[in-house]
Structure 1
Amino acid sequence: MHDLKVCYDAERGAARWAEAGSTDGLAPDLWPYGLNRFADLGVDVVHVDNPPLTTSEALRQLISPSARRPGGAGPEARVSIAWDEGAAKRLLLRDRSERNHCGAIWVNDMTKRTDPPLVWDAKRVLMQMDSVWCLSRAQVGPLEELLPGVRVDPLLFGIDADFFPARDHPGGQTVCSFGGDRHRDPDTLFAALHRVRETHPHAAFDVQSTSPTPPDWLTLLPRMSPSGVLEVYARSAVVVVTTRPNLHVSGMTVALEAMATGRPVVITDSPGMDDYVQDGVSGTVVPSGDDAAVAAAVTRYLDDPALAAEHGRNGRRLVESTFTTARMCADLAGILGLD
């Protein structure tokens, strides 16, 4: 029996992760979120990529939440984990172990929207866990209120700092932005970059966005391989992330990748973001929806390359000391009692 089984949704599992770097053989870590690094700690870890539940499985789980398919769906382990609430649903039916844990990523923000069935379903899943973890201290209180009796542990996120190496600051006036989850704020981003464009006519803007109406004066980035993302960070002077109010710390992955590369970050102040970006040290944290503040912060870095390089170096040091997948797995091993 293995020590630990990591349960992924097949749509976002280890096989798909490898495919993301298939064009050039490059991808961060071996598994999503770097959970392969448990092996470096001496933990006997395996993973499964679970396809979607069939209709009969979903009904069985709904009628009998503690149901499990006879024989399980893969190798046996003392502990099973899933990164988020969705993957945990499949874990409970197919991969339940003696102890089961998962991350709570989306449920806090679900409660802010008008979809009570989704909240009920996520809460039902989380209440069956031996414990849950979350990616900022700001999430702990709301989760403890939502999940009475379930232990909630904060866990700082990490990235593959070797894959995202420090690069010398390029100078120049290229600004980039990545990400398109539902809590990104393209309206504020575009308004801010328009302000920058008016005062810096030679600036270039590389932006990845799901907005249906991006301005025609920016370069709209497609979905890119990890090595393609690296190239964009390398040529950028500053990285910008604007978000709407949320509790899952939207944008933290981009922030950490930028910091690892040695780029200053301009990012919206959402609950928990201060766990990741130190205002005035590794970047600038701005109020939600304030395009003037975003533009002022970006302009400051474009006009002062020495400051941009200094904050970039500070960010790199923070990633190396605190925000690696190796450190994250070591902390999570402690939470799971595997250390």
Structure 2
Amino acid sequence: MQATKVHVHLFYGTDPRFYRAGENIGCLYGYHHAESPELALTYSRDEPENKFVRLARRGLKAALGFDFIHTWRNREEILNADVVWTHTEHEHLSAALLLLLKGRAHGNPMLLAQSVWLVDKWAGFGVLRKWVYKKLLARADVLTTHASENAQMARGYFKRDVEQVYYGINPIDFPLQEPTAWQPHAPVRIAAIGNDRDRDWESLAEAFRQNPAREVRIATRRRVSKALHASNVKIAPAIGMKAARELYDWADVVVVPLRPNSHVSGITVVLEAVALGKPVIVSDVGSLRDYFGPEHVFYVPPHDVPALQRTLDAIVANPALALERAQAASRHFAARDYTTRQFALQHVRITQEFMRTRHMDIPTRPSETALHAERGNVAPQRRVN
């Protein structure tokens, strides 16, 4: 029985042949967990390029909002696939353009278009860009996103269904460790990690820079004002998984300060910190409550410096409360299975549902039914937002 051919089209730099080579982690984001006798996966490949070609490709990507050169280089696998999965709009808009240009002659593969930042940016786009993007989005067969608020906004913008897919992390890098004790150091160690554009480093630094009883380490590759640095606030990139793990291990508390957004900015760090048993303080924005409730993590209003200070003070004064929340978060993580495997299996479910709908006149194969039933036992239920 011929397997469904799924091409996973990711951004340049994530070719599984080279990404963290030798560590045997599979595909970034865990799409390889979808491999089965029913689904045969291929992955986008990075073509070697000199600095001039790289600059040209990146320049065109900045102008268009997607990397068409990278997509064009992978056109053969995309056009020969039955299904194309993408991780962000930078890939699905580009794949949609290719399929509109070439797809009809190749059977028009199903396109699963997953967006991250697109909806947050939409209001700021000009008329022409919105028109072009809507034409490209119309080629997508299924739209997905990671947050209920993001999905609701997308439905309003695009006038079609959008499905929420719950994000997950690699349990090899971040094995689930339910904490058994918690006691802060003196000074209290506060870690914050992230490269997303919606991190609010200003509020975090302002909250603790005048307090020698707090030590803050911020790890980000984004440019941060030198004015935020202080004797107890250190800002530097954490390069590589080893450095990130060392920072988490050092920390007493992980803080995820955020600006208002709709795309669950910070969810990766929240999941990693919870997996490692750390109490988490996070800005109450971006549908993060889709993943964890106030019984699991400590929520504070965005940009509220006094609330951030009061919350940390309360945690330090009541270690039992900090431990209780961290343990509850760990158990909730396990129950919901916020892993890359679960993330991939949600794509399997969506794909199989779409393919069955497309081929309603063809009886479902017994093996496919069994596979779907098995995965349905662990996949999060679709939410009505």
TM-score scaled to structure 2, two decimals?
Answer: 0.74
Aligned with residue 257 of structure 1, among 272, 280, 283: 272
1:241 to 256, 269, 272: 256
Tell me which residue corresponds to 1:310.
Answer: 324
The equivalent of 1:157 in structure 2 is 167
Task: Write the deviation string for residues 117-172 of structure 1: whole angstroms up to 9, x where unpaired.
Answer: 55444433322100110101112221112112x43111111111332122744632
2:98 paired with 1:85: no
Q: 1:226 to 1:290 in 2, by over 3 A?
A: same
Give the conservation status (yes or no) of the 8 Å contact 1:7–1:50. Answer: no
Tell me the CA shift for residue 54 of structure 1.
6.5
- Answer yes or no: is 1:227 the counterpart of 2:242: yes
Amino acid at match of 2:184: G
Q: What SS class does the counterpart of residue 74 from structure 1 fall into?
A: helix
**2:140 aligned with 1:133:** no
- 8 Å CA contact 1:237–1:301 kept in 2: the answer is no
Residue pair 1:282, 1:315 contacting (<8 A) in 2 also: yes
- Match of residue 313, structure 2, among 299, 311, 314: 299
Gaps of 5+ in 1: none
Question: If you compute each CA radius of gyration, which structure gives the higher value, 1 or 2?
Answer: 2
Q: Does 1:273 align with 2:288?
A: yes
Deviations 1:186-243 (A, max 9, x none): 111111223xx52xx3432111243122322222232321122112112211111111
3-state secondary structure, aligned to 2:7: strand
Partner-residue secondary structure (3-state), 2:90: helix
Provide the aligned length of Structure 1 versus Structure 2. Answer: 320
The 8 Å contact of residues 9 and 91 in structure 2, kept in 1 or not, is answered as yes
Aligned residue for 2:32? Answer: 36
Contact 1:89 1:125 in 2 (8 A): yes
> What residue ranges of structure 2 are gaps of 5+ in the alignment?
48-53, 354-371, 373-385
Distance 1:325 1:144 in 2: 26
Identical amino acids, percent of aligned pairs: 20
Alpha-carbon RMSD across the aligned residues, in angstroms, is 3.1
Amino acid in structure 1 at the alignment position of 2:298: T
Question: Mean alpha-carbon deviation: is it higher for 320-329 or for 261-270?
Answer: 320-329
What residue is the counterpart of 1:212 in the other structure?
225
Change (3 A) 1:191 1:316: same
Please say if residues 50 and 90 of structure 1, whose CA atoms lie closer than 8 Å, have aligned partners that are also in contact.
no
1:176 CA displacement: 0.3
Name the residue aligned to 1:319: 333
Q: 1:205 to 1:117 in 2, by over 3 A?
A: farther
Q: Please state whether the residue corresponding to 1:257 is helix, strand or coil.
A: helix
Aligned partner letter, 2:43: H
Runs (4+) of structure 1 exceeding 4 A deviation are: 50-55, 68-71, 93-97, 114-121, 167-170
C-alpha contact 1:208 1:221 (8 A) present in aligned 2: yes
Q: 1:116 to 1:317 in 2, by over 3 A?
A: farther
Deviations 1:220-275 (A, max 9, x none): 23232112211211221111111111111111111111111111111111131111
TM-score normalised by the chain length of structure 1: 0.83
User: What secondary structure does 2:44 align onto?
Assistant: strand
